[in-house]
Structure 1
Amino acid sequence: MNRVGFFVSSALVLLALLSSMLFVVDQRQFGVVYALGEIKDVITEPGLNFKLPPPFQNVSYIDKRLLTLDSPDTEPMLTLEKQRMVIDWYVRWRITDPRAYIRNVGLDEAAGANQLNRVVRNAFQEEINRRTVRELLSSKREQLMADVKREVLEQVKGARPWGIDVIDVRITRADYVEAITESVYRRMEAERKRVANELRSTGAAEGEKIRADADRQREVTVANAYRDAQKIKGEGDGQAAAIYAEAFGRDAQFAQFYRSLQAYIASFGKKGDVMIIDPNSSDFFKAFRGGGAGGAAPAPGKK
């Protein structure tokens, strides 16, 4: 029984020892083997590997994938015109040399991100200090990001290489600080109102001009029409007078009688009209007294 227990415990010890000597490197990682705190080997290919059991050798892992570093703070930066701008950015980077990375940066990805953040922020500050807000927002934005990337690469690949590679540097947002943004919005609102009022004034002036021109054209048209109407009316009156003269010239007594009838119609046009005249002495009722078309008629006797 003691022999069986001895064999079982020995087998368990061997399995534990063997498991401590085996390790698996994932395809997304570097495997770094340490011997008494010193880097012994770096495993770059995925698979099963062997090492001495602790404490003689230990293994740690470092990510070999493409990493992203986002700007962690919103502290404003000054442009060439001394305008305070808030810049949000990100960096795509990866570890390429684990030995140099561990010696010069740190044991994990967080250490590299912290130091890289400082270098990238300083590079952005230096480049933004050389540019205006307009250049930052439009014309020279791509050049700014390229210059920042170049400066960061010079830092990480200098006399003491970090063992990393910077793939890309990008600006995601560039904006004024909150206090300046509010004043900018107010200026923009005032400018839009000024433009709107100017457009309204211009429109009102154009409207008045159009209305004045339309009124002038209407007056001219009405005057021309009245002139033409009066001309036609005058020609008609002239023709009528000529016709009357010709007709009345043929029979003077009938013309006088006709005119008297027209005068009677005009004088007694309404039912309640009253005229006080001596019919015997007035020529107005001569047609009545004549007893015919202009003939003399005896005056009515008095009763």
Structure 2
Amino acid sequence: MSSKGLFASIFVLLLLVVAANSLFIIKETERGVLLKFGEVVDENLKPGLHAKIPLVHKVRKFEARVLTLDYNPQSYLTQDKKPLIVDSFVKWRIKDVSKYYTATSGEEISASRLLASRVDDGLRRQFAQRTVHEVISGQRDELMQDLTKSLNQVVLADIGVELLDIRVKGIELPERVNEDVYKRMRSERNREAREYRSRGRELAEGIRADADRRQIIIKANAYRDAEKLRGEGDAQAAKIYAEAFNKDREFYSFVRSLKAYSETFKSEGDVMILDSDSDFFKYLGTPNAK
């Protein structure tokens, strides 16, 4: 190869090396900053092809997608001084690239450590404002929303990241606390049961009293109606007796005497000593007695 061809080859090779070190690509899933001797000169490189000056400029690329920070379970004290073992995770992403680079030197580990510290402090404050029952039963979602909203402004200003969500995977009670919680739950359930029983007894007494009152009223009404009917029947019977007596008094007297005889002499051993002239034997001694 001639010297001219050798120089041409070296020149082309140098051009390729310079081009390789002068051009760079920012992907859609990346965020980047352009540094000049360590100082940020372009804090938000858009996706695409870019140029730089070799040995003068330096490019730092960061993940633009949502990242997950999974914590080790931590112990927190509630408002009623009960420890809880909380397992949580955080969803976050880089929002302000320049501030992120300044605060963390572009190291994701440093960002995770700073973020973990702030979330840990926030969780500690939130749990300290609530009781065990509130945290476990009804206010966990509210707690996470409040914490995400309040911490997002802090971490965005401090390290340039956006806090998307904080979630609790699980809350466990230490073994020594379990029994206390169960005792309190049993006590509350027993108290509710006593209230229900007391209310039931009160309602039962009311029902019994109302039933007794109704019974007395029904019996009184029935007795009144029975006496009224009995009186009407007695009056009607007396009227019938009177009418029959007035039609044939002698026959009525004879029938009444026969009834008196049958009631008096029911058995063979019955004895009655009376004067033979007594009216009682009027129809026995003289069939045609008048």
TM-score by length of 1: 0.62
Aligned twin of 2:71: 72
Deviation of the 1:254 alpha carbon = 0.8
In the TM superposition, residue 25 of structure 1 has moved relative to its aligned partner by: 1.5
Partner of 1:299: none
1:178–1:263 CA distance, 2 compared to 1 (3 A): farther
- 1:295 is the counterpart of 2:288: yes
State the secondary structure of the residue aligned to 2:74. Answer: coil
- Partners of 1:278 and 1:124 lie apart in 2 by 110
What are the equivalent positions in structure 2 for 1:158-237 lying under 5 Å apart?
Answer: 162=159, 164-167=160-163, 170=166, 172=168, 177-179=173-175, 180=177, 183-237=180-234
Note the residue ranges of structure 2 that are not aligned, 5 or more in a row: none
Instruction: State the distance in 1 between where 2:201 and 2:40 align.
Output: 86
Instruction: From the two aligned structures, give the one with the greater helix fraction.
Output: 2
CA distance in structure 1 between the aligned counterparts of 2:101 and 2:151, rounded to whole angstroms:
25
When residues 95 and 224 of structure 1 are mapped into structure 2, their CA distance, relative to the original with a 3 A threshold, is closer
Q: 1:59 to 1:276 in 2, by over 3 A?
A: same
Deviations 1:236-285 (A, max 9, x none): 324423542453355443113222454578799xxxxx832699x99999
Q: Using a 3 Å threshold, how does the CA distance of structure 1 residues 205 and 288 change in structure 2: closer, same or farther?
A: farther
Q: CA deviation at 1:60?
A: 4.9
Matched residue type, 1:105: T
1:206 is displaced (CA, Å) by 1.9
1:248 aligns with 2:245: yes
1:100-119 alignment runs, 5 A limit: 101-102=100-101, 104-119=103-118
* Secondary structure in 1 matching 2:92: strand
Task: Evaluate the alpha carbon distance shift between residue 182 and residue 233 of structure 1 in structure 2; reply closer, same or farther with a 3 A threshold.
Answer: same
Alignment of 1:266-285 (within 5 A): 275-276=267-268
Deviation at residue 72 of structure 1 after TM alignment? 0.7
Report if the CA contact (8 A) 1:79-1:129 is conserved: yes
Checking the alignment, whether the CA contact within 8 Å between 1:90 and 1:169 is kept in structure 2 is yes
Deviation of 1:203 (Å): 2.0
- Using the size of structure 2 for normalisation, the TM-score is 0.64
Deviations 1:172-229 (A, max 9, x none): 5795735446643542343234323322332233223322322332233223322332
- SS of 1:76's partner is strand
Q: Which amino acid aligns with 2:198?
A: S
Gaps of 5+ in 1: 157-161, 269-273, 297-303
**Letter aligned with residue 197 of structure 1:** R
Kept in 2, the 8 Å contact 1:79–1:130? The answer is: yes
Name the amino acid aligned to 1:177.
Answer: L
Distance in structure 2 (CA, Å) of the matches to 1:60 and 1:247? 133
SS of the residue 2:71 aligns to: coil
Report how many aligned residue pairs link the two structures: 270
Matched, 1:29 2:27: no
Aligned to 1:122: 121
| Greater mean deviation of Cα atoms: 165-174 or 235-244 | 165-174
Q: For residues 6-61 of structure 1, give each alpha carbon's deviation from its aligned partner in whole angstroms, at most 9, with x where no partner exists.
A: 99xx69967974784343221332345689x95787570222245678x9987552
Q: Which residue of 2 aligns with 1:84?
A: 83
Provide the alpha-carbon RMSD of the alignment: 4.9
The alignment-based identity, stated in percent, is: 30
Structure 2 vs 1, CA of residues 76 and 235 (structure 1 numbering), >3 Å: closer, same or farther?
same
Aligned equivalent of 1:63: 63
Q: Is the 8 A contact 1:25 1:45 kept in 2?
A: yes
